[in-house]
């Protein structure tokens, strides 16, 4: 046998990435073989190499795509004018909503950093820093406006992102709290954590 019925790169390509993301998130990069990814797609292992030069690049491209979509989505949604307080609320709600909607990619992008080559690691790490810097800028603006009391904007940005990303470890659709309620709980904490009068 060889080329199979209905085979088309526009279909198989995305399915390879979906299968890889799903399996990497569930079992980890090192524990997932190319043969397992291929099996999930319904193809032989060799066929995957029409879509990626190697396993490492497959992982890296998944992470890069996720980080770039994260940045692009925030840049598209970030309020143009308004107070730093309003921007911080927007960021908080955006981060929770975006990350819970892509739990697999978020998980992989954090857990599999050590499985990247040094070059690839640096690229992903740079994108992560870009994202943190977006929040840091909001905090600095709030301090300048006299509304926030934040002695260490960089560290506070990382702390808040860690807190918000933690939602992914317990949140489940159809749980006790809706996403809107979760957003409210976390925004309440974020707001108070950086507020001037406490």
Contact residues for its own copies (CB under 8 A)?
Answer: 26-31, 111, 114-115, 151-152, 155-156, 158-163, 165-167, 169-170, 177, 182, 185-186, 188-195, 197-198
Phi/psi for 78 (5° steps) reads -60, 130
Q: Is residue 197 part of the contact set for DNA (CB under 7 A)?
A: no
CB count within 10 Å of CB 165 equals 16
Structure tokens at 181: 């309620």
Q: Which range binds DNA by CB under 7 A, 35-43, 98-106, 160-168, 172-180?
A: 35-43
Q: In terms of CB distance, is 29 or 148 closer to DNA?
A: 29
Smallest separation (angstroms) from its own copies to the CB of 126: 15
Number of Cα atoms under 13 Å in the Cβ half of residue 91: 26
Q: Quote the tokens at residue 87.
A: 């921007």
Indicate whether 6 belongs to the interface with DNA (CB under 7 A). Answer: yes
Distance CA 112, CA 110 (A): 6
CB of 119 to DNA, least distance (A): 15
């Amino acid at each position: 046998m060889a080329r199979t019925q209905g085979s088309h790169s526009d279909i198989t390509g995305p399915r390879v990435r979906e299968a890889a993301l799903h399996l990497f998130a569930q079992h980890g990069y090192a524990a997932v073989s190319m043969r397992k990814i291929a099996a999930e797609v319904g193809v032989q292992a060799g066929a995957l190499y029409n879509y990626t030069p190697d396993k490492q690049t497959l992982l890296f491209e998944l992470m890069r795509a996720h980080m770039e979509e994260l940045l692009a989505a925030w840049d598209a949604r970030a309020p143009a004018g308004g107070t730093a307080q309003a921007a911080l609320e927007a960021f908080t709600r955006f981060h929770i909503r975006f990350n819970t909607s892509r739990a697999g990619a978020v998980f992989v992008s954090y857990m599999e950093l050590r499985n990247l080559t040094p070059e690839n690691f640096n690229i992903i790490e740079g994108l992560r820093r870009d994202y943190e810097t977006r929040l840091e800028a909001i905090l600095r603006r709030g301090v300048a406006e006299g509304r926030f009391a934040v002695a260490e904007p960089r560290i506070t940005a990382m702390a808040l992102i860690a807190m918000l990303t933690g939602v992914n470890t317990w949140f489940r659709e159809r749980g006790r709290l809706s996403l809107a309620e979760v957003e409210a709980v976390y925004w309440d904490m974020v707001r108070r954590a950086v507020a001037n009068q406490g």
